[in-house]
Structure formats: C-alpha cells, structure tokens
Chain A
Amino acid sequence: MSTDSAAGNRAASDEGVDDPILEIDDANVTYNDGETYVLNDASVSIDRREILGIVGESGSGKSMFASALLDAVPDPGVLSGQIRYHRNDGSTVDVLELSDEELRQFRWEEVSMVFQGAMSSFNPTMKIRTHFTETLKTHDRSVSEGIDFARGLLENLYLEPDRVLDSYPHELSGGMQQRALIALSMVLNPEVLVMDEPTAALDLLMQRSILQLLDDLQSMYDLTIVFITHDLPLVASLADRMAIIYAFQFAEIGPRDSIIGDSAHPYTRKLLNATPNIDAPLVEMQPIDGEGPAPVNVPSGCRFHPRCSLATEKCRAEDPQLDVFDEFDTDHRAACHHWQEAREEIPLNAGKASDWYDASDMADRTTNTQQSKTDGQPLLSLTNVDVHFTKEQGLLERFSGDPDTVRAVDDVSLDIQEQDLVCLLGESGCGKTTLGKTMIGLQRPTGGSVEYRGQDIWTADGSDSTISHDEIRSALQIIHQDPGSALNPNRRIVDILSEPLRHTHPNASTNECRSRIYSLLERVGMTPPEDFIDRYPHQLSGGEQQRVVLARALLMNPNAILADEAISAVDVSLRIEIMDLMLELQSEFDTSFLFISHDLSNARYFAEHGDGRIAVMYLGEIVEIGSAERLIHDPRHPYTEVLRWATPNLDLDAMEADDPPIREIDVPDPVDPPSGCRFHTRCPVAREVCRKEQPELQEINDGDGKAACFREHPDHEYWDSEPVEGAQRRNEPPN
C-alpha cells in the first residue's frame, strides 16, 4: 500500500531479524485528512520469540504503533502501509486486508494485547472466571480445557487460581488485576503478546516481579513479546532488542546491549543520561532541554534537531533515514546524520561506577551534616505518631475482645530540621502518604504528637499556643502527584497564582502581585512569563503544570513542602530538571522538603543532592532510615534490599536480574498486618522469633541511620531461632 508521507520511505528492513513473525513496512497513522501524522514511516521486523522493547515518552506515538499492529487505530485515524504476519505453517497474513470477522479472530488468537487502560476494560458485574469463559466461547474454544489452561497461567503468575477466578475485578489489587489480564490475553495461546505500558500503574516491586514473570512465560510458551513503555531501564532488563521512538518515528533500533551501551542517536544517548538510576554518578545525569513536539507542530528535517546540541543545517533541512550506519554493526539502525559525533560528544554515564562508597566516611559525613542540622529546634517533630482507623465492631465481636484497628501509621518518631530533606520510600499502602499528610497537619494523628517549632499543631490557637494555626497551615504546603488535577481548569494561571498572594500579602497592589508572579514564573523556568500568565492549565504541558504547582506552593512562603510523588507524572527526560529546580528552590527559599516516592532512583537523586535522608516504610512503620548511598550500597533491612532489587538500572553487567529477594510478591492485607516483624511473611531471612517479636528502629553500627531488624544485633535470639518455612539461613551475626 502506498503512503503520502512527505518524507518518503526512510527505513530499510531489519538486517538482524532471521525469522520475522511480524513485518511492518512504512506504517503511517494520520488524522485530519492525512494532514497530521501520529505514526510516521514506521518500518520494523519482529523476530519470532524475541522480546522487543519499544521506548518513547508520552505523546511520541508508541501506543499508536501498538494499535497499528492489531489494526485497531481509534477513529478517525487512518492506518496505511503494510503489516504482514507470518504463521508457523509458513502462510502469511496481510493484516490490513483482513475482514472484520478475520480481524476479530486474528486479534487475541494470533496476536494478543494488554493495552494501556486495560485494567478499565473489565465488566464489573462479572467474576474473573466469566471473563475467561466469555473469551473462550467467543473464539469457539473448549471452556473446560481453556479454564484448565487459565489455572496454569494464573499459577505461573503467582496467583491462587480459585481465589482469582471466583473474584470480581474490584476484589483484586491492581497487581492481581494486571496479572489476571496477562492470563486473559494468553488464554487463547497466541503467538505474539503486545503490551502497552502494562505495568505503569503498579509499584516498582510489582512491575519488576511481573517483568520477571513475563520472561518466564516467554520461554515457557514460546511467545514473541512487544513491550511498549516510557520507562527505559525497566524494559532494558527484559528486552532482546530495543527500539526508540521520538516524535512519531523510530529514531533507533538495535540489540539491547548496543542501544544501552553504544547507542548512535543523540536522543537515545541523552535519554539514557537523563534517566535517574541508582548506579550512575549523580553529577553526570543531565536533563534534555525542551520537550517533544505535538503532531501538528513537527519540525522539518530531523525531528530532534531543536533539542540536539549537534544539529547542523543539514539536520534542519533533511530528515535522516533510519538505516544501518555501520557495516560492522548491521543489526543496529539509527536515524541521524551525525551518529559518529553523537558517540564521541555525548558520553554515556550508564555503567560507570557511582561515587566510591565508604561506610565510615559516609557515617562521619552524615553525622556531621545531621549534627549541624540538629543544633537548633526541629522544624517538625513527630513523636510516637499513630494514625489508626478504628473499625466499628459487629454484634458478635463486641463480646469477644478488642476492636479491630487499621494501623495506617504506627508509632513513628521522626524529626525534620530547618532546610532538611527526607524522602519517604515504599510500596502503595505502606502509609507514606498518610505519614506525609500527618507531618504537615492534613491528617490528625490518633496517637503521639506532631510539633511545628515546638508547638503541637493540633492545639495551636489554644490559650498557651505560641504559633497560630493559620501560620502553621501556610508554612506547610503540599504538591500532589497529578498537577493537572491540582489546578482549577477554569482559572487562568494568573488567577491561580494570585490566590496564595492574597493570604501572604493581603495589602499588596495588583501590580505588586503581578510582579511577584512574573518573577517567580521566571524562576521556575517559565519564560517569558507573559506567554504563560493568561493560559489555562490544559494549555500547559505536564512539566509546565508541575512548575505552576511548585510556584503556587512557594508563594505561601512555606517552611516545608510535602511533594507527594510529584515527579511521577513528568516525562523521564524532564524529571532531573524538575528535581534540580526543587532542590535549587529549597536552598533559595530556606524550605524543608518531604518527598514521597515509590522509586529509589528518584529518592536517591533527591536525597543525595539535598544532603537528606531516605526513610523506608513498610505497612505503617519506618523500617530503615539513612543516607541514600548507605541504603543503596549497604542496606541493613531485608525490605530495603528488595526495593534495591526492584529498581531497574542501566548497567549491562548487572542487568540480568537474580530472583527477587522476597518470598511473596503481594503485600499483606494492611487491615490485618502480620504479627511480630510485619515483613516476616515476605522476608527471605525471617526466623521464628520474627513472627512473635517486633524489632525496634535503632541506630546501626558502622554506618549512618537506623534499621528495625534483629539481624543488626549480634546477641539477639534471632541467631539461634529456626528459619520460617521458605526462608534461608544466611550469614553469621555481625561482630
């Protein structure tokens, strides 16, 4: 099929593919009567039984590529080009020529898909079992044989088949729903599985665990997997080959090791350097200036040229072919006029060793830093803080004992100093957001106290209070994860930013307010401010919205800002820039930062640059706290080790992940947490004593910070106790 693309055919076939199962030639998706391209000249072959990782930032066209593979482009998009599917028996299907009925059979039976938003495609009134039986019946398969197969799939995905099949979707956690969807997508035994951001809504540990499971399923069922994501390090641990997509075109395709270790496109190299990871030296992580173009505003020539430091007149005029550029590297293609210069002038920081870690040096450094910070009164002081939600008792329970309690935060003590920085790290449901909100007075604790500069924030405005409640409220601010929903869509940026000024500067004139807003917008990188001031939030990019939210918080002159997953929604290439901005503003505005994250790489970047600490939370408790480098290089709590394992990195030598250092993938029910050490049900080194006795958070030897684990105490009865079922006996007591 011909194409109207202005650029012409910019791609050669894949030299490195021996036995293609899918061949995509010159695929284009257009809107507006062919005027707007959201996929442009995509040509790639997918090898049978390979895992191809496709990486692109939001709005780059990667989901459109996934839709194109199944001829499922949303209306009124028009897909052209050629997509050929080669069956095992040697026959070939021209996907774009299939009738509706042929297409219905082709999808899910031969090529199946777990797409972004699939967790919203359940029927909420049907049990998971019915989802399987309906799928089997629709494709004329035997239900009993299919359900048996489904049981095996669910078991391979570490789920209890009976429990899952008998559940409605809302009765399963996000991780369980996602695994049920993977099993559903495989129940017809397809040859190819296309996965579009299948783990984006999940915690890092669950993401990593699912990737491990996919790796196993791929070899067990001889699958070909196309894994599409914005998260480069995540897919790097799984993929055989990788393709990088930028502004609706493939920029580079090649073997995983070549892409990570020897990429040729400046965008790939800059993206690798912009990705926070736990091994690379912090100083060498650099953001990419600017943002990717919208479909209606694609630059001429090479689409990356406005953001590329190597761009020349040729790049501005001529769209480079995606082609083999090196006769000795024929399975690697890149679309760049200056690939040699890119390799020379943009050195990769991935794989370089990070700063040398010395425990005693780190302990001294951290002690000195913390000592200087602790000289004065803490800004915020939490003492034995509990946030418990008490359940009302049923009639029978009233006669049978104590009321049940959901312990969202349990006995947490923590001081935050002036200009301090603390990252709360943990999985969903661990209590980090509840603790963060309790710190800044948005959640009332049920036990213990929270003091702001010595004043209990819940008794402020009492007869003996030294600081007013209003003063405390404006001193403690929050930035939410999703900047879009935090900004009123019906108000212009100037109105949104004027609101806090009315509180902090009630007598300021309109001109003074505007002047303050202009200078702050400039300070957060929105220049010139007059270009932004009259816009509505939907007219800003995600990164710009987050800058406005940050500016709004700063206009309150806060002493502490709680940033709740504040960079999770920002594209990878911009994360370091936003984190750098927050860190600069922290020192400029003398503010403390409480940074909530599920991602150790981001927490490390923040904590190391801001001279702060990371507090690891598990089921309502802080289980370890210390400097980022100590936690990464010398984790003392087994749960910190798990988070370290779950954090993908870009070091090729360390990329082949070991089995997870954990016995159970799923987090226990927070309504009924385990007795003793709450981590004992998942801990790989738990012993009988861990079931009964709860370890306290105590200073560790030979390092900075604290940990709550019996293994830190050489004389504890732990060392004479028997390992629990499935746990290992590891190491001797520390000296």
Chain B
Amino acid sequence: MARYEPECADETLFLSTDTERIEIGTIDDIVAAIGGETYTIEYDEKQRTQAWLDTDEGRLEIDVRETVTTLPHTEETVSKLREYDMETDRYGLPTRTVEFTNEFVDILEQQGTTTT
C-alpha cells in the first residue's frame, strides 16, 4: 500500500507519493481545527506501564504542528480525503481540510483512554 508523506509548501500541507500530490489545507487551519498546538493523550495505569511510553503521570502531550507535518498517511485515508473538495466551505474551512483533521484526530484517539 502506498504511503503518503506530508509535504509543506507556502504554509500549506500536501500528502504526496512519487506519482501524486493532494492538497489538504493550510497548516494554521489544520492546527486550529484540531483544537490548538498541543493535544494530550491520557493512558490508564496499565497502559502507562509500557516501557516505550514516556508520560507525565500518564499524560502524553503531542505537538500538533510537528505531528501534522511529519506523520504519513495510508492510501485508504487519502482515498477518503479525495472524495472531498478543497473548494466547498464547511465551518469556514475547505471540506477536505475538515475531513483530514477528523482522520488525524481518529489516529490520536485510538491511543490511550481519554484525549483532550
């Protein structure tokens, strides 16, 4: 399955493979739609015993701007995003930008017990 890497140009996020480049939206819009510069995942007592987790009493703070611009995405995610337009306005943002933030938050919400 193709991996879509994030790519930034003129403050805009694209997801790209060797043959395709899909526009997602401006980074500022994405960060704002996710809810700010940081996103906290909270792990329960059992989860936080995992040796790979370096948390502050179970809380892992994620730098949203950095993660949005470094985390690759699957072809499945990108095929869903293609269904949405960059032109259509939704909550004042392009629909694809909003759908991307939903997908992104889904990835974060799969981890931990609660997220804020």
Per-residue CB proximity of B57-86 to A under 8 Å, as 1/0? 000101000010011101110010011000
Interchain nearest-CB distance for A65 vs B (Å): 13
Q: How far is the CA of A733 from the CA of B15 in the complex (A)?
A: 51
Q: Are B112 and A120 in contact (CB under 8 A)?
A: yes
Which of these, B52, B60, B79, contacts A406 with CB under 8 Å? Answer: B79
Interchain nearest-CB distance for A116 vs B (Å): 8
Q: Are A394 and B22 in contact (CB under 8 A)?
A: yes
Which of these, B20, B47, B79, contacts A120 with CB under 8 Å? Answer: B47
Verify if A220 is at the interface (C-beta below 8 Å from B): no
Q: Are A121 and B21 in contact (CB under 8 A)?
A: no
Interface segment, A129-137, A568-576, A580-588, A614-622?
Answer: A129-137
Q: How far is the CA of A170 from the CA of B77 in the complex (A)?
A: 10
Counting chain A residues whose Cβ lies within 8 A of the other chain, the interface size class is 35 or more
Q: Are B43 and A135 in contact (CB under 8 A)?
A: no
Residues of B near A463 (CB, < 8 A) are none
Interface segment, A41-49, A67-75, A556-564?
Answer: A67-75
Residues of A near B21 (CB, < 8 A) are 394-395
Q: Are B83 and A392 in contact (CB under 8 A)?
A: yes
Verify if B9 is at the interface (C-beta below 8 Å from A): no
Interchain nearest-CB distance for A172 vs B (Å): 10
Which of these, A121, A171, A391, A394, contacts B74 with CB under 8 Å? Answer: A171
Which of these, B46, B54, B62, contacts A134 with CB under 8 Å? Answer: B54
Q: How far is the CA of A117 from the CA of B71 in the complex (A)?
A: 23
Verify if A125 is at the interface (C-beta below 8 Å from B): yes
Q: Are B108 and A671 in contact (CB under 8 A)?
A: no
Q: Are A396 and B20 in contact (CB under 8 A)?
A: yes
Most chain B CB within 10 A, of A70, A72, A124, is at A124
Q: How far is the CA of A138 from the CA of B67 in the complex (A)?
A: 24
Which of these, A130, A171, A396, contacts B72 with CB under 8 Å? Answer: A171
Verify if B49 is at the interface (C-beta below 8 Å from A): yes
Verify if B19 is at the interface (C-beta below 8 Å from A): yes
Which of these, A67, A120, A406, contacts B111 with CB under 8 Å? Answer: A120
Interchain nearest-CB distance for B82 vs A (Å): 4
Residues of B near A131 (CB, < 8 A) are 52
Which of these, B49, B54, B74, B107, contacts A124 with CB under 8 Å? Answer: B107
Q: Are A115 and B1 in contact (CB under 8 A)?
A: no
Q: How far is the CA of A118 from the CA of B48 in the complex (A)?
A: 10
Q: How far is the CA of A219 from the CA of B1 in the complex (A)?
A: 34
Which of these, B1, B72, B111, contacts A669 with CB under 8 Å? Answer: B1
Verify if B116 is at the interface (C-beta below 8 Å from A): no
Q: A108-B51, A394-B21, A397-B19 are in contact. Are A171 and B79 (CB under 8 A)?
A: no
Verify if B53 is at the interface (C-beta below 8 Å from A): yes
Q: Decide if the interface of chain B is mainly helix, strand, loop or mixed.
A: loop
Chain B 6-24 residues near chain A, CB threshold 8 A: 19-22
Which of these, A74, A107, A126, contacts B52 with CB under 8 Å? Answer: A126
Q: Are A671 and B79 in contact (CB under 8 A)?
A: yes
Chain A 218-245 residues near chain B, CB threshold 8 A: none
Q: A168-B71, A395-B20 are in contact. Are A121 and B110 (CB under 8 A)?
A: no
Q: Decide if the interface of chain A is mainly helix, strand, loop or mixed.
A: loop
Interchain nearest-CB distance for A96 vs B (Å): 16
Q: Are B52 and A184 in contact (CB under 8 A)?
A: yes
Verify if B88 is at the interface (C-beta below 8 Å from A): no
Q: Are A121 and B51 in contact (CB under 8 A)?
A: no
Interchain nearest-CB distance for B26 vs A (Å): 21
Interchain nearest-CB distance for A355 vs B (Å): 44
Residues of A near B87 (CB, < 8 A) are none
Residues of B near A672 (CB, < 8 A) are 1
Q: Are B45 and A72 in contact (CB under 8 A)?
A: yes
Chain A 144-186 residues near chain B, CB threshold 8 A: 168-171, 184
Q: How far is the CA of A72 from the CA of B47 in the complex (A)?
A: 10
Verify if B89 is at the interface (C-beta below 8 Å from A): no
Residues of B near A122 (CB, < 8 A) are 52, 111
Q: Are A120 and B110 in contact (CB under 8 A)?
A: yes
Q: Are B82 and A170 in contact (CB under 8 A)?
A: no
Which residue in chain B gives the minimum CB-CB distance to A395? Answer: B20
Residues of B near A130 (CB, < 8 A) are 52
Which residue in chain A gives the minimum CB-CB distance to B106? Answer: A170
Q: How far is the CA of A132 from the CA of B54 in the complex (A)?
A: 13
Which of these, B50, B70, B72, contacts A121 with CB under 8 Å? Answer: B50
Which residue in chain A gives the minimum CB-CB distance to B45? Answer: A74
Residues of A near B37 (CB, < 8 A) are none
Q: How far is the CA of A115 from the CA of B44 in the complex (A)?
A: 12
Residues of A near B74 (CB, < 8 A) are 170-171
Q: Are B62 and A125 in contact (CB under 8 A)?
A: yes
Q: A392-B83, A395-B20 are in contact. Are A117 and B51 (CB under 8 A)?
A: no
Q: Are A125 and B52 in contact (CB under 8 A)?
A: no
6 pairs, A vs B, C-beta closer than 8 Å: A118-B50, A125-B71, A131-B52, A169-B110, A394-B21, A671-B76
Residues of A within 8 A of B (CB): 67, 70, 72, 74-75, 107-108, 115, 117-126, 130-132, 134-135, 138-139, 168-171, 184, 389, 391-392, 394-397, 404, 406, 669, 671-672
6 nearest CB pairs, A to B: A394-B20, A392-B82, A121-B47, A134-B52, A135-B51, A131-B52
Q: What would 16 more interface pairs be, CB under 8 Å, given A124-B110, A389-B79?
A: A72-B45, A74-B44, A108-B51, A117-B113, A120-B112, A121-B112, A124-B71, A125-B67, A130-B52, A131-B52, A134-B52, A135-B50, A135-B52, A168-B71, A170-B74, A397-B20
